[in-house]
Copies of this chain bind each other. A is one copy, B any other.
Amino acid sequence: MTTGEPRLGPGEEFDRIRSLARALGSRAAGLGDDCALVDLGGEILAASTDLSIENVHFRRDWLSFDEIGWRCAAAALSDLAAVGAMPIGVLTAIGAPGTSVQSELDQVMSGVGALLDETGGVVLGGDLSSSPVWTVSVTVLGRARRPVLRSGGKPGDSVWVTGSLGGARAALETWLGGEQPAPSSRESFARPHPRLLAGVWLADTGASAMIDLSDGLGGDVRHLSAASGVAITIELSLLPVHDGVPDVARRIGEDPRVFAAGGGEDYELLALLPPEFTPAMAQRFEAHAGIGLARVGSVEEGAGVRLLLDGTPVEIAGYDHFR
């Protein structure tokens, strides 16, 4: 745990976190990474908390109650993946409207349980309250053998991304346009898969820095750059773009690669890997984790992030949750 101002990228949400860290002074420890890491005599505990609120993070006409539970838990578990930790368990605090019924609460919790069937871990505890809107706070606890922070990136590293990007945003934009998303995009939004095994594999293989893509690559890569004190260049034409993206991107007049880089909540991992990491090792990763691993950029001396599209600089705003 380190104290001091968190080294985050630009953005209103991150200005808020910087201000809160100042308000806490020496009582803030290790803010600004995906997880807190606590050395408990041999075991390193990783912990993170994630708040999901109806009409901010999800809508009830988009998701079933068990999907709400799955998605809220996935957002939190993804932070464990980002430091290379595996889950011990979760604590779930749920606020439910007075008009809710028990079976809805049970379905939210069944969704959490279904995800834990996939990832491992148990529900360790929770809290219930009434609330004007559905509110789900999930805190995850995990064990990290070799934790990877955002701050370890070095010049000479290369930038890799797991899976594919933009699926969740494709669903979101389609719903916002009043239509039903394609099944595979809907699945990306409703039941994201935290990349836990991938995160541990990358940690064990020497990843120098990692982050999960919750705010979108365009914003999240800035946190890696700021925390590691390095310059990062991303070539968007190398991005693995989700199948559901091209149709939706075309409809709103955006290049699919730019669309994918601006999409949040994919919960893929962005990892900085050392020069020794080879394409053959990426193939071994794909066999192990069952998802792709694509090289999308490079790390140099300096500061800041350059996003290129076929070699030409482009601007992409981060996905700001504080809305």
Which chain A residues have a beta carbon within 8 Å of chain B's beta carbons? Answer: 1, 3, 13, 15-17, 19-20, 22-25, 27-31, 33, 35-36, 38, 40-43, 45, 47-53, 56-57, 88-89, 91-95, 102, 105-107, 109-110, 112-113, 116-117, 122-133, 135, 137, 139, 141, 143, 321-323
Q: With the chains together, A132 CA to B133 CA distance in Å? A: 8
The reply to whether A322 and B130 form a contact with Cβ atoms under 8 Å apart is yes
A95 with B135: CB separation less than 8 A = yes
* A38 neighbours in B (Cβ, 8 Å): 88-89, 124, 141
Nearest residue in B to A25 (C-beta to C-beta)?
B113
Q: Which 3 A-B pairs have the closest CB atoms?
A: A36-B124, A137-B137, A51-B93
Interchain CB contact under 8 A, B49 and A126? yes
Q: Judging by beta carbons under 8 Å apart, are A128 and B30 in contact?
A: no
Task: Return chain B residues, CB-CB under 8 Å to A15.
Answer: 102
Task: Write out the residue numbers on chain B whose beta carbons fall within 8 Å of the beta carbon of A128.
Answer: 13, 16-17, 20, 51, 321-322
Collect the chain B residues with CB atoms within 8 Å of residue A36's CB.
89, 91, 124-125
Copies, count: 2
Q: A24-B109, A57-B129, A89-B36 are in contact. Are A137 and B49 (CB under 8 A)?
A: yes
Report the separation of the CA atoms of residues A17 and B78 in the bound assembly, to the nearest whole angstrom.
Answer: 26
Distance in angstroms from A40 CB to nearest chain B CB is 4
Residues in B neighbouring A89, C-beta threshold 8 A: 29, 36, 38
| A96 nearest CB across to chain B (Å) | 9
A186 CB, min distance to chain B CBs, angstroms: 23
Complex alpha-carbon distance, A273 and B322, angstroms = 49
Chain B residues positioned under 8 Å from A17 (CB to CB): 126, 128
Instruction: Tell me which residues across on chain B come within 8 A of A91, comparing CB atoms.
Output: 36, 47-49, 139
